[in-house]
Structure 1
């Protein structure tokens, strides 16, 4: 039980450090991005419109350098091994905050269930936006 608590504590510390590093890297990257004016017919809700368009087109599947996750098609969210969970976590923490919801939709369309333990981490990362 003590080993489990230590593992859990180390996991949370690791997640915290990764989130801070991801947030710091995200801020640095946004300073270097070129600003492009939106089209004249734009409503101003780019992320919402893009996400709605992607949701409507169910045949569209976008990959986020995560093709290896296709091996986990139709596996229950509670059946993953620690190594498999780490593969998902590695992809999750390399995504930009605004890409996470698109990635979740992508893996859902590929019939891949996100490991149950990563759902709260994904929500936490999306909330940072």
Structure 2
């Protein structure tokens, strides 16, 4: 009887571990991406969102950013583009999302070693876009 219970308990623990692996929490930047980006860039980031057809310039294919940057994901460029800056809307159809991504901030260190107080939502969003790379 003892061996049967040992096998039963081991099996139950194995199933619990499997459930934990498949029931992972969603990426913290996913909801922000779905709210602000997917309409133009599409759920998969390929520039095929439902609003893409009506735009004068096709949205960027976000899945190729790493490849286009020599195999390195351009985190800083993504954050700068998403955040925007005053007057940017004059030269681009990409809206400025900086004001919408307010909230808690943390220090982000650029590849050059520069420290910048950055919105956690913006960091999460850039990290999520990185997960879309092909």
Structure having the larger proportion of residues in helix: 1
Structure having the larger proportion of residues in strand: 2
Higher relative contact order by CA 8 Å / sep ≥ 6: 1 or 2? 1
TM-score interval for Structure 1 and Structure 2 normalised by the shorter chain: under 0.3
Larger radius of gyration: 2
With normalisation by structure 1, the TM-score equals: 0.28
